[in-house]
Amino acid sequence: MPPADGKQPPEAPSSATRWLTPDEEAAWRALGSVIVTLPWALECQLQRDAGLSFLEYYVLARLSEEPDHTLRMSILAELTHASLSRLSHLAKRLEGRGLVRREPDPTDGRFTHAILTEAGYAKLVASAPAHVATVRALVMDAFSPDELQQLHNVSRRLLSRIAATGLP
């Protein structure tokens, strides 16, 4: 008989479910803690020292890596794993602060370019030393050179598996 609220009880887990072993669960929980804690620590440092969010810093950094400090907004959204809507709001804020400007793509007016301004580049250059020091203190200095290579390999493997799912 169904419950009085009309909702069906959840189905029992399938016996085909590959539950995590205790070691796998411990590793997953540790990774989950890093996934949540590290971005927050980086965000706090950037806000405190530079008045930038992590995504704002990342956008400035990505633009600085381009020869003309310019990218289509749609490409920048892909590179930063931000929705185009979120990136548009962020670009508007950065534009208001004089760090980025937006212009129509001269080859195809349907697209918009994000362009790092001189002030944006100066902000990035001024922000980078404290940010790099934090990255070094929280991540890089925790590993030997061999462990760092393993971290790189594991990270690339995970990113490849995520990309293969087709999920954003």
Give me the pLDDT at residue 15, please.
Answer: 72
Asked whether 49 and 129 are in contact (CB, 8 A), the reply is: no
Give me the pLDDT at residue 5, please.
Answer: 60
Residue 154 has pLDDT above 90, yes or no: yes
Where do the H-state alpha helices sit in 19-117? 22-50, 54-64, 73-80, 84-96
pLDDT digits over 103-135, tens only?
999 999 899 999 999 999 999 999 999 999 999
Give me the pLDDT at residue 166, please.
Answer: 87
Which of 67, 71, 68 minimizes the C-alpha distance to 58?
71
Give me the pLDDT at residue 157, please.
Answer: 98
Give me the pLDDT at residue 167, please.
Answer: 81
Q: What is the mean pLDDT of the chain?
A: 93
For 69, which DSSP code? S
Question: Using CB atoms within 10 A of its CB, is residue 94 exposed (0-12), middle (13-18) or buried (19+)?
Answer: buried
Structure tokens at 18: 């590959």
Give me the pLDDT at residue 109, please.
Answer: 87
**What CATH number labels 42-131?**
1.10.10.10
Residue 110 Cα to chain centre, angstroms: 26
**pLDDT > 70 in the chain, percent:** 91
Which of 80, 81, 110, 109 minimizes the C-alpha distance to 100?
80
Residue 7 has pLDDT above 80, yes or no: no
Asked whether 80 and 57 are in contact (CB, 8 A), the reply is: no
Per-residue pLDDT, averaged over 8-32, amounts to 85
Residue 12 has pLDDT above 80, yes or no: no
pLDDT digits over 58-84, tens only?
999 999 999 899 999 999 999 999 999
Q: What are the residue boundaries of the structural domains of the chain, listed by start?
A: 42-131
Label residue 96 by pLDDT band (50, 70, 90). Answer: very high
Residue 9 has pLDDT above 60, yes or no: no
